[in-house]
Amino acid sequence: MNNKYIEVRWHGRGGQGAVTAAEILAEAAYYDGYKGVTAAPFFGAERRGAPVIATNRFAREAVRTFSLVQKPAVVVVLDESILRVVDVTAGIEPDGLIILNSPKPPEAFTFKVPVRIAATDATRYATEAGLIISGAVLFNTAILGGFAKATGLISLESIEKALRHHFQGPASEKNVLGARLAYEGTTISGVSKQVCA
């Protein structure tokens, strides 16, 4: 993560809120003192459940690159079923970090390239925080707490400030609680074992 920019790629499915999470992360990065921040979605087949990508780029100076992130330092995976259909490690920096929404420990995952792995059960923490609408658990904001814990790049306080700005009233506090629970429940491994391609 020694590049001029810190680049983040989000993997999720349509309707899971990857784009919203990327936007809130960009705002939190700004609150944390980053001068340049971007958040951008990338859609293939635009339908609920289809794999989607969102990206962030942030730096201490102005960001003048607006293309899709190609070499992320951090990859966030909102739905571990994505791992069966998408190579989430594509372009990742050497010894980059993958943050997974999963109840499994980081050691349960292996990838084609050596990466560090963090896991947080954002779905469970969002449920505990009451982030449920029409039976759907809204875990995209909870995983932001996991991002803060696993990377140390953005403080939990800045994540909370961005969540309170994005949401109002009781929804605001539920989102903050979900992020706090995910922060506390995130576990991180060293570099994963490499598996054959």
> Which domain covers residue 181, as residue numbers?
6-187
The reply to whether 70 falls in a domain is yes
Give 72-90 pLDDT, tens digit per residue. 999 999 999 999 999 999 9
Asked if the structure places residue 95 within a domain, the reply is yes
Closest CA to 53 of 40, 66, 37: 40
In a domain, residue 76? The reply is: yes
Is 193 among the domain residues? no
Per the structure, how many domains does the chain have?
Answer: 1
For residue 192, is it within any domain? Answer: no
β pairing state of 6-13 and 51-59: antiparallel
Distance CA 130, CA 191 (A): 34
23: which 2 tokens?
Answer: 């936007």
**Nearest Cα residue to 143 out of 106, 109, 186:** 186
Return the pLDDT at 192.
59
Least confident of 30-34, 59-63, 82-86, 142-146: 59-63
pLDDT > 70? residue 57: yes
Least confident of 67-71, 122-126, 159-163: 67-71
Q: pLDDT tens-digit profile of 89-135?
A: 999 998 899 999 999 999 999 998 999 999 999 999 999 999 999 88
Residue 197 lies in a domain: no
| Interatomic CA distance for residues 126 and 45, integer angstroms | 27
Alpha helices in the chain (DSSP H): 18-31, 122-128, 143-151, 156-166, 169-185
Predicted confidence at residue 44, as pLDDT, reads: 58
At 84, which CATH number?
Answer: 3.40.920.10
Task: Assign 67 a pLDDT band (cuts: 50, 70, 90).
Answer: confident
Please check the confidence at residue 191 and state whether its pLDDT lies above 80.
no
pLDDT of residue 100: 98
Spatial distance between the Cα atoms of 69 and 7, rounded to a whole number of angstroms: 6
Query: Which of 94-98, 158-162, 180-184 bottoms out in mean pLDDT, i.e. has the lowest?
Result: 94-98
pLDDT of residue 3: 57
Residue pair 88/70 in contact by the 8 Å Cβ criterion: no
User: Is pLDDT larger for residue 95 or for residue 65?
Assistant: 95
Structure tokens at 93: 């920096």
**Residue 195 forms part of a structural domain:** no
Cβ pair 113, 194 in contact under 8 A: yes
Report yes or no on whether pTM surpasses 0.85.
yes
pLDDT tens, position by position, 133-145: 988 999 999 999 9
Tell me: pLDDT of 69 over 80. yes
Residue 137 located in a structural domain: yes
Distance, CA of 92 to CA of 124 (rounded, Å): 28
